[in-house]
Amino acid sequence: MRVEPPYNPLNKKNLGVNVADALLARNVESIRLSEPFIGAGIYALYYVGNFPTYKPIAEANQNGQFQAPIYVGKAVPAGARKGGYGMDVSPGTVLYKRLMEHAESIEQTQNLDIKDFYCRYLAVDDIWIPLGESLLIEMFSPLWNMLIDGFGNHDPGKGRYNQQCSTWDAIHPGRPWAAKLPPNKRSAQEILEQVQEVLRKRAINL
């Protein structure tokens, strides 16, 4: 006889679903937000432009559908990076600042247009932020999280430019600090061909 496991609303994955659903219910806005706001939390970025390799993603986001995030991320209060979440301490504008950092990275590239990027964002209580981000990545396998790495990187700083350029910077050159890094071991063409193959297989499996 089959046993139906009881639904537990406090199960970790169910809690993550609640956070993810709350983000996906938010309105979509241009990534260049009009004004700052207080809060830490999670976000999803969407692409609608004409960069050839990203055509399947852009098509999934046309006509207001926004079904395929190209990147999912989080912004946590400063204390979280040291292992504590700073309960009841204002997070400041960390989520807004993170989105603006991404906007600047996109604006610095030679082959992407900031007008083609949109976002959903959600201020979340500190403890649920990593869970929400992890579930969204699992749900959507965003390209810039799973296959093209480096979009969320920061300038490593003086004396630390010995690591190779990320795959994201290899195919989207323009960030001044990334130009100081050794080139990626793979060419931009090789990376883009791999991306095209992955997106082709995803389409077949849908």
Give percent of the chain above pLDDT 70.
85
- Indicate yes or no: pTM above 0.85: yes
Residue 205's DSSP bridge partners are none
Name the more confident of 67 and 1: 67
| Alpha-carbon separation of residue 77 from 42, 98, 134 (angstroms) | 12, 11, 17
What pLDDT, in 10s, does the model give residues 94-142?
A: 999 999 999 999 999 999 999 999 999 999 988 889 989 999 999 999 9
Instruction: Return the top range by mean pLDDT from 36-40, 79-83, 113-117.
Output: 113-117
Q: What does the block give as tokens for 12?
A: 């970790």
**10-24, 45-59, 100-114, 164-178: which range is least confident on average?**
10-24
- The answer to whether 34 and 87 are in contact (CB under 8 A) is no
What is the predicted pLDDT for the residue at 54? 97
Give percent of the chain above pLDDT 90.
69
Phi and psi at residue 183, in whole multiples of 5°? -65, 155
Residue 120's DSSP bridge partners are 44
Where residue 28 falls (left for φ over 0; alpha for ψ -120 to 50; beta otherwise) is beta
